[in-house]
Amino acid sequence: MGESQDNPGGERRPLERVTALVERILDRPDGRGPLPLDARLSELGMSSLKMINLMLGLEVEFDLAIPQGEITPDNFESIASVEALITRLLR
């Protein structure tokens, strides 16, 4: 897979980085198949403690602070909603 025009540096896109972080926090073994982007994180096994780890991990991974007002159930419902939040915050 070559570098795309929207990813000229070869750096992983936010969606790939968010997904990798969720997989690490959920301690998913390799080879289990991709996580559904629109599945509820709670249904994938994300507990409240793991959710805190996700928030902290996102701040480190993307070198940003998530504003208190953005820490809502809607923003942390699924991988897709988390990726939308990060994309918005990075702008």
Domain definitions of the chain by residue range = 14-90
Q: What's the pLDDT score for residue 30?
A: 72
Average pLDDT of 27-35? 82
Write down how long the chain is: 91
| Superfamily classification of domain 14-90 | ACP-like (1.10.1200.10)
Between CA 42 and CA 49 the distance in angstroms is: 11
Average pLDDT of 21-38? 89
Between CA 33 and CA 50 the distance in angstroms is: 21
Indicate whether 63 pLDDT > 90: yes
Q: How many CA atoms lie within 13 A of 33 on its CB side?
A: 3
Indicate whether 28 pLDDT > 90: no
Q: What's the pLDDT score for residue 31?
A: 67
In single-letter form, the type of residue at position 20 comes to: A
Indicate whether 71 pLDDT > 80: yes
